[in-house]
Amino acid sequence: MPELPEVQAVVDSLNELINQEIMAIEIRADVVMPSKTEFTNCIVGKNIKSITRRGKYIIIQLDDAYLVVHLRMTGKLYLSADNVTKKHTHVVIKTTNNFLIFEDTRRFGRLEILTDLTKIEKKLGFEPFDKKLDNDSMHQIINKNKNIKALLLDQSLIAGIGNIYADEILFKAKINPETTGKSLTLIDVSKILQSTREILDQAIKNKGTTIINFSYAGDQKGAFVKNLKVYKRAKLECFECSDVIATKKIAGRTTHFCPTCQTI
DNA sequence: CCATGAACCTGGTCGC
DNA sequence: TGCGACCAGGTTCATG
């Protein structure tokens, strides 16, 4: 489900947890984490120092550890005034003033306790808005004999882009998803980087995209749906030309693109 | 090095 | 109404 903008919306919605204490934890499905006991011992009685995002990870900093959450496809993390018992409510964390609820229909999501973030950092590349990511460094990291769609989805290069935004970015940049990274010129690369930032910035401002069931803060939907130009627009007319939006499986994911606009 | 498919799960939709 | 096939905002591992 959630890509960078959606995860950011979730992180922002949890802001009031900062400076609260974790009073208790109720784990109903331990499949979503390695060890129930260790988990409980590590977080109960701890204070919440900050809540941030790195790639698609939600990072809740405690006194002496990090509670790290990845929502994968259908995970939800939200605050509630009351305890919640729904079919897929797997974890309930009672804090000073709230209940922090984790639920996940497909159970792909994960919660883990880390003493430092090296494990996460090792997996992830640049944040899309990192100033160190410029046209030259982008050109370097995607200089591979691999299609650009797969490269954009590769979290170890740039962290946070998923299937929706990869397609939207490539449409905006007018680059064909199957073009290999190494065949792209510096001009092409600069278009992709600029499109990445514009698309993600707009999506963040719109609190993400709700296609199937993404929500933050319990029931709020992402409004970027109205901005989608290719994703979920198969067989519909391209907004820029008279052609029809095509789909093809690329990098293992359904990819949406305009065969006429995206020729490079 | 690169592409592809399967696995992890549940639920919604579509065609018959 | 039911049933099977196929699809889904992600990641990781195994196989050619």
pLDDT of A1 reads 67
- Residue carrying structure tokens 């120092």: A49
Spatial separation of the C-alpha atoms in residues A59 and A134, rounded to whole Å: 26
Cα angle at A215 between A210 and A219, to 5 degrees? 120
The catalytic position among A5, A53, A54, A56 is: A56
Q: Which residue is nearest to nucleotide B7 (CA to C1')?
A: A108
Written as six digits, the tokens of A54 are 């790195």
Q: Which residues, by CB, come closer than 7 Å to strand C? A: A 1-3, 6, 55-56, 70, 72-73, 106, 108, 123, 153, 155, 162-164, 208-214, 222, 252-254
Spatial separation of the C-alpha atoms in residues A46 and A28, rounded to whole Å: 21
pLDDT of A29 reads 77
pLDDT of A220 reads 94
Stretches where chain A sits below pLDDT 50 are none
Q: Is A119 a catalytic site residue? A: no
pLDDT of A32 reads 72
Spatial separation of the C-alpha atoms in residues A40 and A245, rounded to whole Å: 49
Beta carbons within 10 angstroms of residue A130's beta carbon: 12
- Which amino acid does the sequence have at A262? Q
pLDDT tens digit sequence for A29-81: 777 777 888 899 999 999 999 999 999 999 999 999 999 999 999 999 999 99
Beta carbons within 10 angstroms of residue A161's beta carbon: 25
Collapsing DSSP states into helix, strand and coil, what is residue A59?
strand
Q: Is A56 a catalytic site residue? A: yes
Spatial separation of the C-alpha atoms in residues A170 and A256, rounded to whole Å: 10
pLDDT of A6 reads 98
Written as six digits, the tokens of A143 are 């200089």
HSE-CB at A6 with a 13 A cutoff on CA atoms is: 32
The b/e string for A185-210 (b: 16+ C-beta within 10 A; e otherwise) is: eeebbbbbbebbeebbeebbebbbbb
The H-or-E segment that residue A253 falls in is strand A253-257
- Residue carrying structure tokens 């797969």: A150
Q: Is A2 a catalytic site residue? A: yes
Cα angle at A75 between A72 and A77, to 5 degrees? 125
* Domains along chain A with CATH numbers: 4-121 (3.20.190.10), 135-257 (1.10.8.50)
Written as six digits, the tokens of A170 are 């490539």
Written as six digits, the tokens of A177 are 């998803």
pLDDT of A242 reads 86
Spatial separation of the C-alpha atoms in residues A214 and A58, rounded to whole Å: 15
